[in-house]
Amino acid sequence: MKHFLTALVLMLTTTSAFAGFTGSVTATNDYIWRSMGQGADMAFQVGIDYEHDSGFYAGVWTSDIDFGGDVDREIDYYAGYSTALIEGVVDIDVGYIQYDYQGSAFDFKEIMYGLSFANGLTVNYYNVESSDVSTIEVIYAVPFITVVDVELIAYDFEGNGTEVFGAVEDSIAIRFSKSVDDNVSLGLLVGEDLLTGSNYYAFSFGVEI
């Protein structure tokens, strides 16, 4: 998996020259996924995205994790289509995500439907393939704070649970982010870890390529 991460970083240095391709490298002290800590004390994350003018997009993203044993890396593959539903008012997004945990029992796939409104509200619905497990994600970008970007995030989990989700409750988190320049950003995600019951403070440093 170290070879995969190295290859992905090398691809970032070459794909950024091609139209439609962007990349990102992020370091965080606590990788949080939907208010659930993913175990790694320090996580390095790399992603490559492709976006076409038609609205089609695809990408691959990877992060350090620690699920015990040999499960220490997550690789996500995703693709979808995004377009304006009502120009200047609301956009619609339909996507497919495959979560790969090195071929372990944690692997799963999701179908995603999203609506993004011009007022800063985003609502996403995720359904785990061949399962009754689903998640509603609501994100609101607070418009009147200009010093930093502030987002309020809420999750509603439904279904009997799987090895991935377990028995989790609904959650609320807040995310602060600040662009240092066009390519560098700082972030802080604050909330309660649904798996441990303790509060998390996930700091991040990201670079876009």
Spatial neighbors of 98 by CB under 8 A, at least 6 apart, are 76, 77, 78, 107, 109
pLDDT band at 13 (very low <50, low <70, confident <90, very high): low
Task: Give the other-Cβ count within 10 Å of 147's Cβ.
Answer: 7
pLDDT-above-90 percentage for the chain: 71
Predicted local confidence at residue 163, as pLDDT: 47
Q: What is the mean pLDDT of the chain?
A: 89
pTM of the predicted protein model: 0.87
| Domain of residue 93, CATH code | 2.40.160.40
Question: For position 12, what pLDDT does the model report?
Answer: 53
Give how far Cα 55 sits from Cα of 16, 18, 30, 153, 192, Å. Answer: 19, 17, 32, 25, 35
Whole-Å CA distances, 42 to 15, 72, 118, 146: 26, 12, 35, 29
Total domain count, the chain: 1
Range of the domain at 192: 2-208
pLDDT tens for 54-87 read 999 999 999 999 988 889 999 999 999 999 999 9
* pLDDT(1) > 60: no
What is the percentage of the chain residues whose pLDDT exceeds 70?
A: 87
For the segment 38-50, what is each residue's pLDDT rounded down to a tens digit?
A: 988 899 999 999 9
Q: Which helix (H) or strand (E) segment is 12 a member of?
A: helix 2-15
